[in-house]
């Protein structure tokens, strides 16, 4: 990626129950900065890419701290504006054993969710950009963010800036909004050349199910998506088998119009934090595509996703050296 990667979405603060406790079980919460698009920007910045975040936050200490964390990771925060409102929050109760993790959102009325689409000057923000990255979370927040995401996608197309889109379906947010997500998401995907999503995301977009299992079903969904969205050239996805909160099996695949590549499944054990693993995968794939083949991109994306499971917080902070060591099978102390 010769120019800057641009992410557009809400910058969030995550409040997690410490250890494996439940929310409100103890009088303490761990604080992390997150947001799907920001996580991808941080992941790519740590891998040496120029990245920029576009968002809206309030003028207060919470927002200043969140923006400072992005800046410390190497992300250009010049596209983040201040607006009336509040920071979006979410609360996490981490899973343990056979108990799944649980998320509680507190983002209604946030500065980002209420910022008019016209507040973002896309010709300026996308000047010299190599890629714009959006996710399905942004339009789920409300009509203002839906309009802003569509304006961003349309501007990218008009300016010749490639768009990647991560489905990131959030049922709680869409249910709270009370609208059908399908036509909104399909309109955004119609501008994308890269889609991060699996057969379930495609089923939602196209309002149809795909028969079979495994490779046949994934390929059928990919071919249907390519037929429906002419600009689309790559679909990247992961498959996860969660045995319990501490042991997951993870594999990756990349579909193109004429073929696909798929990795072997990798066992991820001793999981510290799985939040943000999908964003780490997206960063790894984009990094890999900039330097190699789709097969290499799938391997790098899977490596970064696996590494993210070892790190508290939302974003991947790993470097190319960490990826190389992981792919080489190095687990002993590096001295």
**Domain 4-325 architecture:** 3-Layer(aba) Sandwich (3.40)
* pLDDT at residue 180, rounded to an integer: 95
Half-sphere exposure at residue 46, Cβ-oriented, CA atoms within 13 angstroms: 24
**Cα four-point dihedral sign 255, 258, 263, 265:** positive
Tokens of 44: 């790519």
- Residues 180, 170, 269, CA angle at the centre, nearest 5°? 150
Tokens of 130: 């190599």
What is d(CA 194, CA 154) in angstroms, rounded to the nearest whole number?
15
Contact 307, 313 (CB under 8 A): no
Residue 51, Cα to own-chain centre: how many angstroms?
A: 14
- Residues 297, 66, 323, CA angle at the centre, nearest 5°? 25
* pLDDT at residue 291, rounded to an integer: 83
* pLDDT at residue 335, rounded to an integer: 47
Note if 279 is an active site residue: yes
Q: Which one, of 307, 303, 312, lies nearest residue 251 by Cα?
A: 303
Q: What is the DSSP letter of 170?
A: -
* pLDDT at residue 322, rounded to an integer: 96
Range list of β-strands (E), the chain: 4-8, 12-16, 30-34, 51-57, 75-82, 88-93, 102-106, 129-135, 163-166, 194-196, 234-244, 247-256, 260-262, 266-269
* pLDDT at residue 214, rounded to an integer: 84
User: Max Cα separation, the chain?
Assistant: 55
Q: What is the DSSP letter of 223?
A: H
Q: What average pLDDT values come out for the chain (335 residues) when binned by 10 residues?
A: 90 95 94 97 98 98 98 98 97 92 94 97 97 97 97 98 96 93 97 96 94 88 97 96 92 96 94 95 97 93 97 96 91 49
Contact 201, 244 (CB under 8 A): no
Q: Which of 76, 279, 314, 322 is catalytic?
A: 279
* pLDDT at residue 38, rounded to an integer: 98
Q: What are the strands of the beta sheet with 102-106, ordered from one edge? A: 30-34, 12-16, 88-93, 102-106
């Amino acid at each position: 990626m010769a120019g800057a990667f641009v992410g557009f979405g809400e910058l969030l603060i995550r409040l997690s129950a410490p250890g494996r406790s439940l929310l409100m079980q103890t009088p303490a919460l761990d604080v992390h900065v997150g947001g799907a698009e920001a996580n991808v920007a941080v992941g790519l910045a740590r891998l040496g890419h120029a990245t920029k975040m576009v968002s809206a936050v309030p003028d207060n200490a919470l927002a200043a701290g969140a923006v400072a964390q992005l800046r410390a990771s190497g992300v250009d925060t010049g596209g983040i504006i201040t607006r009336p409102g509040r920071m979006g929050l979410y609360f996490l109760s981490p899973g343990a054993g056979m108990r799944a993790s649980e998320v509680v959102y507190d983002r209604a009325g946030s500065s980002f969710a209420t910022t008019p689409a016209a507040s973002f000057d896309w010709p300026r923000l996308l000047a010299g950009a190599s890629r714009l990255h959006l996710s399905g979370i942004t339009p789920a927040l409300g009509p203002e963010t839906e309009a802003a995401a569509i304006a961003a996608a349309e501007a990218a197309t008009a300016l010749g800036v490639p768009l990647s889109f991560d489905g990131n379906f959030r049922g709680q947010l869409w249910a709270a909004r009370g609208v059908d997500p399908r036509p909104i998401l399909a309109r955004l995907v119609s501008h994308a050349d890269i889609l991060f999503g699996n057969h379930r995301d495609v089923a939602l977009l196209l309002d149809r199910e795909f028969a079979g299992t495994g490779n046949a079903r994934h390929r059928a969904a990919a071919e249907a998506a390519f037929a429906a969205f002419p600009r689309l050239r790559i679909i990247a996805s992961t498959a996860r088998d969660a045995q319990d909160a501490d042991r997951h099996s993870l594999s990756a695949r990349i579909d193109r119009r004429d073929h696909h590549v798929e990795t072997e499944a990798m066992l991820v054990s001793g999981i510290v934090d799985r939040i943000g693993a999908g964003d780490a995968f997206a960063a790894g794939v984009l990094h890999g595509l900039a330097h190699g083949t789709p097969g290499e991109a799938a391997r790098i994306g899977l490596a970064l996703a696996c590494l993210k499971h070892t790190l508290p917080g939302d974003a991947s902070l790993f470097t190319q050296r960490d990826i190389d060591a992981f792919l080489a099978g190095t687990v002993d102390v590096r001295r």
